[in-house]
A and B are shown apart, each in its own frame.
Chain A
Amino acid sequence: MIVCIAVVGHQNNPLYIQSFTEADDALKLHHIVHCSLDVVDERVNNPKKSGPMLNETFLGLLYPTENYKVYGYLTNTKVKFILVTTDLDVRDADVRNFFRRFHSAYLDAVSNPFHVPGKKITSKTFAERVTNIVKSVSFHTTG
């Protein structure tokens, strides 16, 4: 189950964060997102660690914690998407698919002429779309 999705700007400024869990977990999730940013920076700035995947937008599993898996995605415009899920048996392809759909929704949100780049995304449409994407995605491998 996806518990948190976040968008972070190129100066590590938070642009959007949505949790799909109880309120008191939210703080913990924000912390996880925050920690993951360092991992992203390290991954991207250290070619040796990434190898041939250096310039790919999908960064893969950033780090597992006891209860969560954290995935990252970095756009060409240096915007980071961080996904936190409690599913432990996750296929890369499914996560990629999620990020692709999420990226599409993000694009439309920042194409709003009234959106201010660098500022938080306040679009209700975006929030709804994200909720729908999260609901429609299942990382459980069947069988």
Chain B
Amino acid sequence: MAPAVPRSGDAIFANVERVNAELFTLTYGAIVRQLLTDLEEVEEVNKQLDQMGYNIGIRLIDEFLAKSNVTRCVDFRETAEVIAKVGFKMFLGVTASVSNWDTEGTCCSLILEDNPLVDFVELPDTCQGLYYCNILSGVVRGALEMVSMKTEVTWVRDMLRGDDAFELQVKLLKQVPEEYPYKDDE
């Protein structure tokens, strides 16, 4: 087989075009603010953020596969590691870690302690129930779906709510073994 050596997150990040994180952070913040004004219900905003994330995830996966030289992961375990170490790094510039595996190896947590989305953010009391970073759950779900892994992604810990880290639980629901990295007919 002789696959190409997968590139490290740091190496990829050093080579992609990058922008000031502040622009990104403030843009995301303004989006959340505007959505809250327009949708009013926190739950609706959570849903919209997740949907936006999903739309982004299904596109970012192409760039990810192209730049990372990752050979197709058949294994959910390997996939999770790659998302944490390479995926997060090459886009957000930060690495996540993976832990809390269940015995079957179909459920784990992605843990992020440094998150550019939340720089400067302090949630007001009126935003109880808001998952500020919900776009991330959509991105992960969307990206994984494109490599034939249907997942359920939920927040376990949220630093904006006082926890010590961001923890996303990723639960594999269904995996369809596939010859190509992504479906052509969808």
Contact = CB atoms under 8 A, between A and B. Distances in A.
A112 B121 CA distance: 5
A125 B26 contact: no
A108 interface: yes
B30 interface: yes
Interface residues of A, number: 10
Contacts of B28: 113
B73 interface: no
20 contacts: A108-B120, A109-B120, A111-B22, A111-B26, A111-B120, A112-B29, A112-B120, A112-B121, A113-B28, A113-B29, A113-B30, A113-B32, A113-B33, A113-B121, A114-B29, A114-B124, A114-B127, A122-B124, A123-B122, A124-B122
Give the dominant DSSP class at B's interface. Answer: helix
A25 B122 CA distance: 31
Contacts of B32: 113
Interface of A: 108-109, 111-114, 122-125
B123 interface: yes
The majority secondary structure among interface residues of chain A is loop
B33 A114 contact: yes
Contacts of B120: 108-109, 111-113
Please indicate which of the listed interface residues A108, A113, A123 has the most CB atoms of chain B within 10 Å of its own CB. Answer: A113
A122 B125 CA distance: 11
Contacts of A122: 124
Interface in B12-31: 22, 25-26, 28-30
B122 A114 contact: yes
Contacts of B127: 114
A113 B124 contact: no
